[in-house]
Chain A
């Protein structure tokens, strides 16, 4: 039975309207950031603002990627023209190394996070051992403490170990953030795998190592992809710990360098916006590519029950 025409038209109009509002709200701010990054400083500082770049140019991005080749001395430090956005903040050369740091840390965190979480989640979800519940609660409870409260003692501990400004210290710190959530996701996934498969594997003589490797891992690829993405994104985006635990370009990550630009009044707007666009591209690309896995992973705990 087909519905009458009038309600269908109303529905189409409403859906279009709300979709338009949704797109404007969600994508509008990012679109404006991207549009700003493609304008020169002269264009960007026009009143009223240009919605779209009049002469789109990638000069800001070129400036970022060539910043390392420029030697800034007392004599030439003012050569760049703010109006043509060739005026670079003194820290511009730090952007590429910071991006490398972010990437290295992110990959380590993603890999180690998966390794640690898979084993622990398997034990908690599959093995019936004494202290199973206590382990789970301990793991989840560590995430209840706000980051800003953890950052002070962690700073003191890491400073006393002489590990301030080391990539390793950041990797281990980020694991503390990502592991509890990943374990939570994986447990709900593992529990959805039929118990009979596990019993069959055990009867065939598989130990826990092989049951995990041959039964559980192949069946939970989506959750594994979600975990990898989630850990990388968390690490790439993290700010508070990186701010306190790093001091210079040897370990500073992208958000730290960018926040430095934002608070430096001499930095040109177009340049900061371009840096922001660079920082936003990898996580957004990952999120869109792995959309299905992320959505099922993020909501894994909520579907049950």
Chain B
């Protein structure tokens, strides 16, 4: 018996191209980034790039902007995750019913999912527009609002308005996952609950909700993973403003790296964000891993 049989040689051959690509565009940059984060690299001063150890990391933790960004990111991520999950369950409850038009609605559900994030940002920025936007026009016409407001210019609600755009786009995928989970609930459970005299609300709380747990777990963790790293909407809608009202970690990394050109600290910040995300996502990998 040879050490590597036909199976193993074939597998190596089949897997090699993927690993090669991922090595070049994912693994190597990740390692290289760590090297960069240990050096004081500023692009405006290209020749001097001294090794500074973990100074960049200490510098971040002394940086007031970093803690602002952590606070903003936390609020934003929480809002996105909770609202997305809540809406997804509602939508799934609706689309899991059988009624005329249900197929059409299911097709519509994919529209936000397929919308490019840049267009999503453009669309909502236009809706929020202080002078010509739909939101002001609608609320004033209906009488809910007395006079036009500068929506995105209000530091108290900017983050929520951006989150709203994000939720609109990421709700469909979460809803699809919830629908699949709901479809897997045996009809017998509902019948048994009816026999026991449970009303619709009791059936939801005692049958549907417990059965949704695996799907909910997946959605919660996945939404956390992607919301924490959102960037596109911030660049397009507010650029971190007004003031520092929407100054999130992703935005801080972008500003530090590509505006201040401080690649060393930028890379260190990236590492902090990556490790945070990794810790949160470890659950996902384990969760998904169990299924394979």
Chain A residues within CB distance 8 Å of chain B: 12, 15, 18-19, 22-23, 25-27, 29-30, 32-33, 36, 44-49, 115-117, 119-120, 122-124, 127-130, 132, 135-142, 144-150, 152-154, 156-157, 172-173, 175-176, 179-180, 183-184, 187-188, 191, 207-209, 233, 236-237, 239-240, 243-244, 254-255, 258-259, 262-263, 269, 272-273, 276, 279-280, 283-284, 286-288, 291, 294-295, 298-299, 301-305
Contacts and interface: CB of A to CB of B under 8 A. Distances in A.
B151 interface: no
Classify the secondary structure of B's interface with A: helix
Contact of A19 (B26, B101, B123, B179): B101
A286 B114 contact: yes
B277 A145 contact: yes
Nearest to A154: B29
B88 to A, nearest CB: 12
A149 B116 contact: no
A45 B132 contact: yes
A119 B25 contact: no
A303 B133 CA distance: 41
A43 to B, nearest CB: 10
B277 A148 contact: no
A23 B95 CA distance: 12
A172 B291 CA distance: 29
A49 B281 CA distance: 44
Contacts, number: 288
B115 A157 contact: no
Contacts of A148: 229, 231, 250, 253-254, 270, 273
A124 B15 contact: yes
B137 A146 contact: no
B140 interface: yes
A195 to B, nearest CB: 15
Nearest to A180: B22
B36 A27 contact: no
Contacts of A25: 168
A273 B126 contact: yes
B108 interface: yes
Given A116-B18, A305-B214, A280 B119 contact: yes
B193 interface: no
B229 A276 contact: no
B166 to A, nearest CB: 13
Given A15-B97, A280-B115, A128 B7 contact: yes
B134 A32 contact: yes
| 6 nearest A-B pairs in the assembled complex, by CB-CB distance | A149-B270, A153-B29, A146-B229, A287-B114, A153-B33, A129-B11
A172 B24 contact: yes
Contacts of B97: 15
Contacts of B201: none
Nearest to B279: A144
Given A22-B94, A147-B229, A302 B215 contact: yes
A172 B253 contact: no
Contact of B137 (A49, A233, A237, A303): A49
A243 B257 CA distance: 13
Contacts of B258: 244
Contacts of A298: 173, 176-177
A262 B19 contact: no
Given A47-B132, A123-B10, A172 B105 contact: no
A291 B106 contact: yes
A48 B131 CA distance: 9
Contact of B15 (A135, A153, A287, A301): A135
B27 to A, nearest CB: 7
Given A120-B18, A272-B122, A301-B291, A152 B133 contact: no
Given A145-B274, A172-B25, A302 B94 contact: no
A237 B120 CA distance: 10
Interface in B246-292: 250, 253-254, 257-258, 263, 266-267, 270-271, 273-274, 277-278, 281, 285, 288-292
A140 B126 contact: no
Which of the listed residues B108, B137, B181 has the most CB atoms from chain A within 10 Å of its own CB? B108
17 contacts: A29-B124, A32-B134, A47-B131, A49-B132, A116-B18, A119-B18, A120-B15, A135-B19, A146-B270, A149-B271, A153-B28, A175-B21, A208-B7, A236-B116, A259-B236, A280-B116, A287-B111
A284 B115 contact: yes
B26 A150 contact: yes
Contacts of A183: 18
A145 B134 contact: no
A27 B118 contact: no
A138 B22 contact: yes
B50 interface: no
B8 interface: yes
Contact of B118 (A32, A116, A239): A239
